[in-house]
A = this chain, B = another copy of it.
Amino acid sequence: MDQYSKSNDDALRARAMRVIPGGMWGHQNAPRLPVGYPQYFSRAEGCHIWDADGRKYIDFICGWGPTILGYGDADVEAAAANQRALGDAMNGPSARLVELAELMVETVPHADWAMFSKNGTDATTACVTIARAGTGRRKVLVARGAYHGAIPWCSPSVVGVTEEDRAHLVYFDYNDVASLEAAAEHCKGDLAAILVSAFKHDLGKPHELPTREFAQRARALADAADAALIVDDVRAGFRLDLGGSWELVGVRPDLAAWSKAIANGHALASVTGNDRFREAATRIFTTGSFWTAAVSMAAAIATIEKLRAVDAVAHMRAMGQRFRDGLDAQARSHGVPLRQSGPVQMPVLLFENDLDRRLGDAFCLEALARGVYLHPSHTLFLSVAHRETDIDRALETTDEALAAVARL
């Protein structure tokens, strides 16, 4: 399997072009990346990934987030295998559901309860539905440019979307208290929820942690309107704080959406909520064929337990800081305008005055050619499997890549 001659990626793309619209869909569509990025992957282990032509990379995308302990983490896979021998998708949940819900409630301070699904979009959609059910109101405040999923009510594209799909969304700017207040005022009497990303991680934009003032104002506005404060922790969940990303700013949401990293790559999502919205969560109808599948829950339990045991956040923060510091020093030494932003364990690497992404693309391609997988506009992800030696190896590569950028 996956033993190809040179240019397997091209061959697979050509075959895909016949049987998949445009060859690929969504965020993993390689044509959205600079020419030279592989579309297909053949293997992944720890913090390494191999493309379909056998080239090995130190990976800073981690499957776009899910891989938090490292690909194929032995403890997670052992727990998954134990459960798989018993059963996975059955006529109802296994005991793993209860154990996992208890673990989420124990781990996440705002959570009095948890529910589970498969996609981040399932979780954000359920949060909004619960908020509307609980408040009897309709309007949802969302930050301009924020990503909350890929179905018509929230998709970044409006192709195939009707006006009515977003009839009750009202926009504000992340970290802009005045715009948030204006949006809340606009919805007076009909505000169901304020939906806000864990931090501002819009594609191609500098990333920003929420300010305390913004987070506290969001909480206060939701309280004043008796509406729900929803944190979309799908991308960031468990990388900034095991208790939920807004623990960093001392603000607790009523509802939070989780997915990506919670089962170290096994398909799972979750909604956590407080008692204020328990009754509403009981009344909505949300379900899916595989939502109680036990293997992904066993994987999530093992993931969360290991994240705690190894102090994963501290490790990822240390590795992220090492990477950031190294990159900053290299950028200075090469006189290249690299601007890192976002939390160190989930950075975005952008270049100043690089609207056409000439520098960013070149940098990423130079790194890629030398065995480091970065992304020119998306949030990157560190994992527990990234050790000092990996960061240092990656930095040797980025030094050469930045030198190449300096020569442009």
Residues in A lying within 8 Å of B, measured CB to CB: 1-2, 4, 8, 12, 15-16, 18-22, 24-28, 30, 38-45, 49, 52, 59, 61, 63-67, 71-72, 77, 82-95, 97-98, 101-102, 104-105, 112-115, 117-122, 125, 128-133, 138, 150-153, 155-157, 159-162, 164-165, 167-168, 234, 259-260, 265-267, 273, 278-293, 296, 373
Given contacts A18-B105, A138-B162, 5 further A-B contacts (CB under 8 A): A40-B94, A41-B93, A77-B84, A132-B160, A265-B293
Q: How many copies does the complex hold?
A: 2
A42-B95, A93-B41 given; A289·B129 CB < 8 A: no
B87 close to A132 (CB less than 8 A): no
Task: Enumerate chain B residues within 8 angstroms of A39, measured Cβ to Cβ.
Answer: 92-93
Contact residue among B26, B95, B161, B267 (Cβ-Cβ distance under 8 Å from A40):
B95
Task: Enumerate chain B residues within 8 angstroms of A288, measured Cβ to Cβ.
Answer: 26, 118-121, 150
Contact residue among B87, B157, B162, B273 (Cβ-Cβ distance under 8 Å from A284):
B157
B289 close to A95 (CB less than 8 A): no
Q: How near does chain B come to A116, taking the closest CB pair, in angstroms?
A: 9
A286 close to B105 (CB less than 8 A): no
A289 close to B65 (CB less than 8 A): yes
Pairs of residues from A and B, 7 with the lowest C-beta to C-beta distance, nearest first: A26-B287, A133-B160, A157-B285, A22-B282, A21-B281, A129-B160, A44-B87
Task: Enumerate chain B residues within 8 angstroms of A38, measured Cβ to Cβ.
Answer: 92
Contact residue among B44, B259, B285, B289 (Cβ-Cβ distance under 8 Å from A90):
B44
Complex Cα spacing A12 to B92, Å? 12
Sample 15 A-B pairs with CB under 8 A, ordered by A number. Answer: A1-B86, A1-B95, A2-B94, A20-B97, A20-B113, A21-B278, A25-B115, A41-B87, A41-B94, A52-B94, A59-B91, A133-B159, A150-B285, A151-B151, A151-B286
B82 close to A1 (CB less than 8 A): yes
A287 close to B27 (CB less than 8 A): yes
B30 close to A92 (CB less than 8 A): yes
Q: How near does chain B come to A27, taking the closest CB pair, in angstroms?
A: 5
A156 close to B267 (CB less than 8 A): no
B114 close to A90 (CB less than 8 A): no
Complex Cα spacing A284 to B98, Å? 37
A63 close to B90 (CB less than 8 A): yes
A49-B90, A160-B284, A286-B150 given; A2·B133 CB < 8 A: no
Q: How near does chain B come to A235, taking the closest CB pair, in angstroms?
A: 9
A94 close to B42 (CB less than 8 A): yes
Complex Cα spacing A118 to B2, Å? 24
Complex Cα spacing A156 to B49, Å? 42
A152 close to B150 (CB less than 8 A): no
Complex Cα spacing A43 to B90, Å? 8
Complex Cα spacing A63 to B160, Å? 33
Complex Cα spacing A287 to B373, Å? 21
Complex Cα spacing A372 to B84, Å? 23
Task: Enumerate chain B residues within 8 angstroms of A152, measured Cβ to Cβ.
Answer: 125, 129, 153
Most chain-B CB neighbours within 10 Å: which of A21, A152, A291, A292?
Answer: A21
Q: How near does chain B come to A386, taking the closest CB pair, in angstroms?
A: 15
B167 close to A164 (CB less than 8 A): yes
B49 close to A91 (CB less than 8 A): yes
A87-B72, A94-B40 given; A291·B26 CB < 8 A: yes
B119 close to A118 (CB less than 8 A): yes
Most chain-B CB neighbours within 10 Å: which of A102, A125, A165?
Answer: A165
B129 close to A40 (CB less than 8 A): no
Q: How near does chain B come to A58, taking the closest CB pair, in angstroms?
A: 12
Q: How near does chain B come to A21, taking the closest CB pair, in angstroms?
A: 4
Most chain-B CB neighbours within 10 Å: which of A77, A93, A105, A287?
Answer: A287
A92-B30, A102-B15 given; A168·B159 CB < 8 A: no
